[in-house]
Amino acid sequence: MNPATYITTSWDDGHPLDLRVAALLSKYGIAGTFYVPAENERETMSAAQLRELAGVFEIGAHTLHHVDLTRAADETARHEIVDSKSWVEDTTGMPCVCFCPPIGRFTSPHVHMIRSAGYLGLRSAEFLSLDFPRQRTGLLLMPTTVQAFPHRFSSFAKNAVKRMVMANLWRYLVHGSPAEWPALAESLLRQAVADGGVFHLWGHSWELQDFDQWRRLEGILRFMRDLAHPETTVTNGQLCRLYAPPVAVLDHAARVAKATGVQG
């Protein structure tokens, strides 16, 4: 049997055009997670819009003020990480289990802060990956596959070199170095479906608008719907839960054993 295939999407920055992304995801039955800061240099959704979105999709944290964690003092970074979780939960009334560092920038101490704040998963800005979530000090790191943005080859090369993941760059070359992101997405999705893996499409709704990518996005969402089984599309949080160590289950079993006097 082939290993599992999952399809997930994520959308950063909380711009009101996220609602247009959400409408397209709904149209094609694709799940997604929206990483929303409380404030940003760009416009963000109102609390009412965010609640509407949270009724159908997952909302993740993206700091309170869209802060580059690597440029913030430790205490500021901790506050941005911890308080953005409670801000999402208070605003939406839903649990917030995933965090995405703005601009994809974070270091090891931030990973510990994110774990201590009670998040389950961290979405990075690593491109061209088909990997399942990776365990790192109790947190599940989710790389991405394709950004809905017309990157140049040099962006892929820099992204891979910076993170020392040359296998990702190799994957880009093997997939024919497509100049257009939808062609790259189709090729990588075919591989994920054939060989197993996570296909993670992500982007920014404001960028789709600025670079006129809406029609291309709709095309790839249609392709995703046609190629993948509906049950394989999950939010970032659902993906993390599938790969989380069964700590809660063990705790529960231990509690039952203690309560009933049964030795395991």
Cα distances (Å, whole numbers) of residue 219 to 1, 73, 181: 30, 42, 11
Return the bridge partners of 199, or none: 7
What residues numbered 55-74 form the site for Zn ion, per CB under 5 A? none
Please identify which residue in 5, 6, 9, 12 interacts with Zn ion, judged by CB under 5 A: 12
CB nearer to Zn ion: pick between 41 and 226: 41
Query: Sign of dihedral through CA atoms 77, 79, 80, 86?
Result: positive
Smallest distance from Zn ion to CB 62, Å: 6
Q: Of 84-92, 96-104, 122-130, 168-176, which segment contacts Zn ion by CB under 5 A?
A: 96-104
| 18 part of the interface to Zn ion, by CB under 5 A | no
| 102 part of the interface to Zn ion, by CB under 5 A | yes
Please identify which residue in 7, 9, 13, 145 interacts with Zn ion, judged by CB under 5 A: 13
DSSP of 44-112, one letter per residue? ---HHHHHHHHTTSEEEE--SS---GGGS-HHHHHHHHHHHHHHHHHHHSS---EE--GGG---HHHHH
| 207 part of the interface to Zn ion, by CB under 5 A | no
Distance CA 68, CA 102 (A): 6
Smallest distance from Zn ion to CB 68, Å: 10
Q: Of 5-13, 136-144, 147-155, 166-174, which segment contacts Zn ion by CB under 5 A?
A: 5-13
Q: Of 8-16, 83-91, 139-147, 244-252, which segment contacts Zn ion by CB under 5 A?
A: 8-16
